[in-house]
Amino acid sequence: MVMATGIVSIAFDVLDFTVIAKSLFVLNLSLYSIFCLLFIARIVFFPRDLLAELRILSRSWLFLAFVAGTNTVGVQLILFTQADGLANVLWCSAFFAWLVLISFIIFNILSLPRESVVNSICGGTLLLTVSTVSIVLLGSYLLDVTNENTWNFLMLWGIWILGCVLYLFVIYLIIRRLFFNYFIPENWQPSYWICMGAPAIITLAGSEYLTHLSRSLCDDLGQVTLEMSLLAWALGTLWIPYLLVMDIRKFTGGLDSTAAWIKIFPWARLACKGKYRTYDIEAWSRVFPAGMYTACTFSLAKVSGYYFLESISFYWCWFALLIWLLTLIGTFRSLINYR
């Protein structure tokens, strides 16, 4: 939820929709504070349960959402309040958490048979890439307020490359599952949208890195970073038609009769109750990639000079905002029904 709300806010800020962007920023600060308090309470009062969950591979990489969410809030703090010092604290916290969580994940992978590791791969596994590259995204913004030396630039670039490699490894296994094994729409999960969201954040981080890149390194790293960012954006774009089709099949299937409003905009079921209800907590995995694609496309247009791409952002941002709103309504309905 924090990742999704944060990136939609950032996307509307770069598009100069200030009122929407700042409203989402205020909401996201509240959400982040609440979830951090709950997370700290879990660490203090239920440490054994937490460690047990971290030792389950299919659960361990989901904790990486904390890293990505923290870095997203850090970017918001810089954009909206110029709180560079607090953003730097969040970056250090996220980097430390990333190191700890990656250690658990590596341990889990090494302790399991290869087949079990492969079978546990899903859309959420791509949080490996998203969290890794989010470190570069916030780090690029912080380059303006920290000592700009060559080692800082090279370290961030190395982490960015690591995120790209992780994406290629995981997406290969996901493509095998989706296209070369038996797969039915009923098994479709919103987390598969991260197949697009991961290259989108690679694109955004690469574009922002180029924006803040030292002139002395532009010739060495600039061109290759730009070309890789363009390739990542193209890969993410190619995923969109498939993701939309699979979502439509998921939302329109399993009903005796499909209402006209569902046929017009199937995602409306996210906010419904009763027999039309489709919301679950994983639905937020759809919103973050939608918002990220808006932000990365606009940022890439600026650094590449392909300004025609900006028009894509201006249209896609409203889809991202609408999906965010429907998912938020679904969340509140779920909480009310739970009570």
| Amino acid, res. 47 | P
The whole-number pLDDT of residue 217 equals 60
The whole-number pLDDT of residue 182 equals 73
Using CA atoms, how far apart are residues 211 and 190, in angstroms rounded to an integer?
A: 32
Q: Token pair for residue 135?
A: 């470190």
Higher pLDDT, 252 or 151: 252
- At residue 255 the predicted structure's pLDDT band, cuts being 50, 70 and 90, is low
- Does residue 263 register a pLDDT over 80? no
The whole-number pLDDT of residue 277 equals 80
- Does residue 147 register a pLDDT over 80? no
DSSP string for residues in 86-105: HHHHHHHHHHHHHHHHHHHH
The region of weakest confidence among 19-28, 98-107, 148-157 is 148-157
The region of weakest confidence among 1-10, 113-122, 174-183, 247-256 is 247-256
- At residue 9 the predicted structure's pLDDT band, cuts being 50, 70 and 90, is very high
The whole-number pLDDT of residue 195 equals 96
- At residue 221 the predicted structure's pLDDT band, cuts being 50, 70 and 90, is confident
Is residue 41 helix, strand or coil?
Answer: helix
The mean pLDDT value for 170-186 works out to: 84
| pLDDT digits 0-9 by tens, 298-335 | 999 999 888 899 999 999 999 999 999 999 999 998 88
- At residue 107 the predicted structure's pLDDT band, cuts being 50, 70 and 90, is very high
- Does residue 338 register a pLDDT over 70? no
Write phi, then psi, for 8 (nearest 5 degrees): -65, -40
| pLDDT digits 0-9 by tens, 42-61 | 999 999 999 999 999 989 99
Going through the chain in order, the beta strands assigned E by DSSP cover: none
Q: Token pair for residue 278?
A: 């489709």
- Does residue 339 register a pLDDT over 60? no
CA atoms within 13 A of residue 55's CA, in its CB half-sphere = 7
Q: Could you give the C-alpha distances from 71 to 44, 135, 321, in angstroms and in order?
A: 23, 7, 20
* Chain-centre distance for alpha carbon 291: 9
The whole-number pLDDT of residue 149 equals 66
| pLDDT digits 0-9 by tens, 80-106 | 999 999 999 999 999 999 999 999 999
Q: 262: part of which helix (H) or strand (E)?
A: helix 260-264
The whole-number pLDDT of residue 116 equals 86
Domains of the chain: 2-338 (1.50.10.150)
Residue 246 · residue 186 · CB < 8 Å:
no
| pLDDT digits 0-9 by tens, 272-286 | 877 778 888 899 999
The pTM is what? Answer: 0.94
Q: How confident is the prediction for the chain on average, in pLDDT?
A: 90
Write a three-state SS string for 290-330.
Answer: HHHHHHHHHHHHHHHCCHHHHHHHHHHHHHHHHHHHHHHHH
Residues in Cβ contact with 140 at an 8 Å cutoff, skipping those fewer than 6 apart: 156, 205, 208, 209, 211, 212
The mean pLDDT value for 147-173 works out to: 87
- Does residue 6 register a pLDDT over 60? yes
